[in-house]
Amino acid sequence: MVKSNSVYSNAYEPSLSDYGFLEISNLVKSYRTPDGGEFVVLNGVDLTIGEDEFISVIGHSGCGKSTLLKIAAGLERATSGSVRMEGREIRKPGSDRMMIFQHYGLLPWLTVRENIRLAVDEVLKNAKRSEKISIVNEHLAMVNLNAAADKYPDEISGGMKQRVGIARALAIRPKMLLMDEPFGALDALTKSKLQKQVLDIWESHKQAVMMITHDVDEAIYMSDRIVLMTNGPAATIGEVLEVPFPHPRNRQEIRETKEYFDLRNHALNFLDRYFTQDE
Ligand SMILES: Nc1ncnc2c1ncn2[C@@H]1O[C@H](COP(=O)(O)OP(=O)(O)OP(=O)(O)O)[C@@H](O)[C@H]1O
């Protein structure tokens, strides 16, 4: 059931009950071209994600990573094949899945607090006012944004905006987080702090996560498995690597291990191979 061609697949063995939460089967996505032809973006993607599993997806630009994430979010439909969450076909966006984008997606005319509150209002329609206020406050505190709660997005830094996006996504307690290069626009220090913060939150809440990244170190530090995509058009999953480090992880400590070095080189060599094919 688990697609894993990895040389590392014996290093970390999650139990079978971890699997089957999100199931992507034989997924094909193509677009009509202006001349009436067909442009196949994804061809035959099979992937199963556990309900508390953190998956990273890496691949060269244009291979269809965002398309895959959008299909899982219900923002795009597959051309054929299926994407099921807890056995039900995903056909449209739902509050059980939340997306976090690289470019924040905040509403500029609402304050930090109001941006989070809006999502809570939309999803937890029947909750009491006091309950909603306390959920917003809890999530503001979780990402250390109490002091910025009444500021507008253009009054805060990129890292803070991304924290608002994360708090907003988490506040509605989705079963799955879909993150499209969530740290891509941040400076190195902010990125590292926020990666740790997201991992801390994930370790205490344990949702399914699918995160697109271009950063192999980020993928190894954060995820349980790393999905390596082949190049497009007609991209598919080339390999799935198991990350053999238990959570919580210490970034410095794991970096000094041979397993880290081998895993990193394996992923980079895979990407180099595909890059070279393109040249
Ligand atoms: N609505 C659309 N109509 C036609 N082609 C599309 C559409 N959306 C995406 N594509 C094409 O699908 C391919 C995959 O795009 P996608 O954004 O999923 O790639 P990606 O791997 O996420 O890229 P990047 O890493 O650069 O963000 C690209 O060639 C893109 O031009």
Residue 133 has a CB neighbour count (10 Å cut-off) of 14
Q: Which domain does 122 fall in, by range?
A: 103-173
143 inside domain: yes
Strand partners, 176: 97, 208
Q: What is the pLDDT of residue 88?
A: 93
271 inside domain: no
Q: Minimal CA–CA distance to 204: which of 48, 19, 52?
A: 52
195 inside domain: no
Share of the chain above pLDDT 90, in %: 70
Closest CA to ligand 1's atom 9:
67
159 inside domain: yes
Q: Minimal CA–CA distance to 5: which of 227, 268, 258, 274?
A: 227
Q: Kindly state if the Cβ of 41 falls inside 6 Å of ligand 1.
A: yes
Residue 86 backbone class (left: φ over 0; alpha: ψ -120 to 50; beta: rest) = left
What is the overall mean pLDDT for the chain? 89
Q: What is the pLDDT of residue 65?
A: 95
Q: Minimum mean pLDDT among 2-6, 70-74, 199-203: which range?
A: 2-6
| Domain count for the chain | 1
Q: What is the pLDDT of residue 277?
A: 57
To the nearest 10 degrees (0 to 180), the angle between helices 158-171 and 112-123 is 20
Q: Is the pLDDT of residue 3 over 50?
A: no
Q: Kindly state if the Cβ of 153 falls inside 6 Å of ligand 1.
A: no
Could you say which DSSP state residue 63 is in? S
Q: Which of 29, 39, 41 has most ligand 1 atoms within 8 Å of CB, for mutation?
A: 41
Q: What is the pLDDT of residue 172?
A: 85
39 inside domain: no
13 inside domain: no
How does pLDDT run across 129-168, given as a tens digit for each residue? 999 999 999 999 988 899 999 999 999 998 899 889 988 9
Q: What is the pLDDT of residue 201?
A: 86
Residue type, 274: Y
80-85 and 22-32 beta bridge pairing? antiparallel
Q: Kindly state if the Cβ of 61 falls inside 6 Å of ligand 1.
A: yes
How does pLDDT run across 69-88, given as a tens digit for each residue? 999 999 999 999 999 999 99
Closest CA to ligand 1's atom 18:
64
Q: Is the pLDDT of residue 8 over 50?
A: no
- How far does the centroid of ligand 1 lie from the alpha carbon of residue 72, in Å? 15
Confidence of residue 1 (pLDDT cuts 50, 70, 90): very low
DSSP SS3 for 242: strand
153 inside domain: yes
191 inside domain: no
